[in-house]
Amino acid sequence: SVAPAQVREYLFKFKQTFSVRLRYFRMILYALVAWGSAMSMIVLSIIDLVTISDLECDFIDTVVACKRLNCCFAVEVVSHVLLTISCLIGDSLFLCLLPLFCLVYYAYRFVYRSQKIRYVVFEPMSILNRQIL
CA distance 22 to 123: 46
Predicted TM-score (pTM) of the model is 0.67
Helices (H), 57-123: 62-89, 97-113
**Domain that includes residue 120, residue range:** 4-129
Of the listed ranges 4-13, 26-35, 69-78, 105-114, the least confidently predicted one is 4-13
Give residue-wise pLDDT tens across range 41-98. Answer: 899 889 989 988 888 888 888 888 888 888 888 888 888 888 888 778 777 777 778 7
CA distance 113 to 119: 9
